Amino acid sequence: MQKIKMENFQYNKGKLFIEGVSLIDIIEAVGTPFYCYSAAAIKQNYKTFKRALKNLDAEIFFSLKANSNVGVLATLARLGAGADIVSAGELTRALIAGFPPNKIVFSGVGKSRDELSQALSVGIKQFNVESESEMDLLSEIAKRRQIRAPVSIRVNPNVDARTHSKITTGTNENKFGVTMDDAKRLYAKGSKMNGVDTVGVAVHIGSQLTQLAPYRRAYKKISELVTFLKNEGYKVEGIDLGGGLGISYLDEIPPTPCEYGLMVEDVVGDLGCSIGFEPGRVIVGNAGLLVSQVIYVKEGNYRPFLIVDAAMNDLLRPALYDAYHEILPIKEAGLNISSVRYDVVGPICETSDTFGIDRTLPKMEEGDFIAFSNAGAYGAVMASTYNSRPLIPEVIVDGARFAIVAQKVCIEEFIKREKLPPWLEMQDEDMEANPG
């Protein structure tokens, strides 16, 4: 029997189920490929993370960049979560999903004037400011409206998160935040500005962290900064510790939320500040699958290729980060079915459109279905229409019921935004008027 690391996803009578629904039933309803999320897993992960912070004055702001589907967001909003956003588009999604504006935190290194204005208009909880220029612009906009923008200064603690280089955000080489010295200077400056209200400091050192040590080093620096600011007479109401806690894709053993919470309590629990957290992957990562169908089984020089109908435009992580996703057959292999080592690839004209090399699976036939596990985070949100491929459906399951929470976006729909330039339209008219 295939052993699955993801709770709420199990085989039942030879078929892979998500909660109480057979994936075969969803395939028959929506076709492939598609993303499928477990509401039970999302809720369970959120509640586990919240329990881990029970001894702290804590607020949880789900990171929309991990998964911004409105159905997923609404599930979390109804549990009392807040939202961590990085764009005006994510702000719109957060509001539609039901997050109150006073539970929305705006992060990101490149907020535009329009984005700052829009967030000010709805009255979000705070802006995690990442540069002096951003704070100056925000103050200017707020003063014109005769309001004060709540600001937390994001610090770059120069701590290596020991994760993939493309998702590390807390070292001197990274674009995020400001140095400790600049944070002290900007906090002092902000406290005298008419358009901003400095309320705290923020930090985020990366994603998919599997050790507590980098967190501890970064949070110790934050503790020292907060103590300095308070000793200088500045108010520091809250600290935002970011997110980044990892999950197990292959054989990683990341800290549990409980272990993480105890570490936070030990390092910053005595500062007298409220503490914000921005989890994303740890809430939704293991709550989703990408389901796909085998188009062809093609013989190769080393191993046969499984060519599937999902592609790197649907799930970019393997191509972008060399990320590992376990591959599961939708129909459980019987005792007499042999195993075969495959290279699992998509149909896009890029060698990087590869999901797995030398993967052992039951012998597969054309038309069989597979699923990529732990695809609930940084999956659909990173999808594109590369090769003019459609954006695929997203489905959420709750017990014995399921609903399509994102429709397939076909070529006819997304090509509507394109048009011929006027001079080519004129050429077409001339050709029609003077055929031959």
CA distance 50 to 193: 35
Residues 278 and 381 in one domain: no
Is the separation of the CB atoms in 57 and 48 below 8 Å?
no
Tell me if 291 sits within 8 A of 27, measured CB to CB: yes
* In a domain? residue 433: no
Specify whether 174 is located in the same domain as 262: yes
Confirm whether 76 is domain-assigned.
Answer: yes
- Examine the domain organization and report whether 106 and 19 are in the same domain: no
Do 33 and 81 fall within a single domain?
Answer: no
Q: Is residue 88 part of a domain?
A: yes
Cα–Cα dist 263/280, whole Å: 19
Asked if residue 233 and residue 340 are part of one domain, the reply reads no
Task: Produce one character per residue of 177-216: b if its CB has 16 or more CB atoms within 10 Å, e if not.
Answer: bbebebbbebbebbbebebbbbbbbbbbbbbbbbebebbe
Q: Are residues 242 and 369 in the same domain?
A: no
Please compute, for residue 226, the number of CA atoms within 13 A of its CA located in the half-sphere on the CB side: 28
CA distances, 270 to each of 95, 131, 202, 233, 264 (Å): 34, 28, 17, 18, 10
What span, in angstroms and rounded, lies between the C-alpha atoms of 153 and 189?
11
Burial-class residue 84 by CB neighbours within 10 Å (0-12, 13-18, 19+).
Answer: buried
* Claim to verify: residue 188 and residue 245 sit in the same structural domain: yes
Which stretches of the chain score pLDDT less than 70?
1-6, 160-175, 428-436
Residue type, 84: D
pTM confidence score: 0.93
The total number of structural domains in the chain stands at: 2
User: What is the spatial distance between Cα 237 and Cα 55, in angstroms, rounded to a whole number?
Assistant: 17
| Residue numbers of the domain that contains 68 | 39-283
CA 225 – CA 435 distance, rounded (Å): 76
Q: What is the DSSP string of 355-406?
A: EEEEEEEE---TT-EEEESS-SSSSGGG---GGGPPBPPEEEEETTEEEEEE
- pLDDT at position 78: 98
Active site residues: 349
User: CA-based angle 267:226:239, to the nearest 5?
Assistant: 70
Clarify whether residues 123 and 221 are in a common domain: yes
pLDDT per residue over 117-150, tens digit each? Answer: 999 999 999 999 999 999 999 999 999 999 999 9
CB 284 within 8 A of CB 81: no
What residues are paired with 370 via a beta bridge?
Answer: 292, 329
Q: Out of 224, 257, 283, pick the residue that ends a domain.
A: 283
Q: Is 432 inside a domain boundary?
A: no
Q: By the 8 A CB rule, do 386 and 312 touch?
A: yes
- The set of residues, in sequence order, having a beta carbon less than 8 Å from that of 310 and lying 6+ positions away, is 32, 33, 290, 291, 292, 346, 355, 372, 392
Neighbour count for residue 159 (Cβ, 10 Å): 21
Q: What is the pLDDT of residues 227-270, one digit of tens each?
A: 999 999 999 999 999 999 999 999 999 999 999 999 999 999 99
Residues 108 and 23 in one domain: no
Q: Give the separation between CA 132 and CA 12, rounded to whole angstroms.
A: 57
Report how many helices (DSSP H) and strands (DSSP E) the chain contains, helices first. 13, 20
Q: Which residue has the tokens 């993370």?
A: 49
In a domain, 430, yes or no: no
pLDDT of residue 168: 55
- Read off the CATH number of the domain in which 184 is found: 3.20.20.10
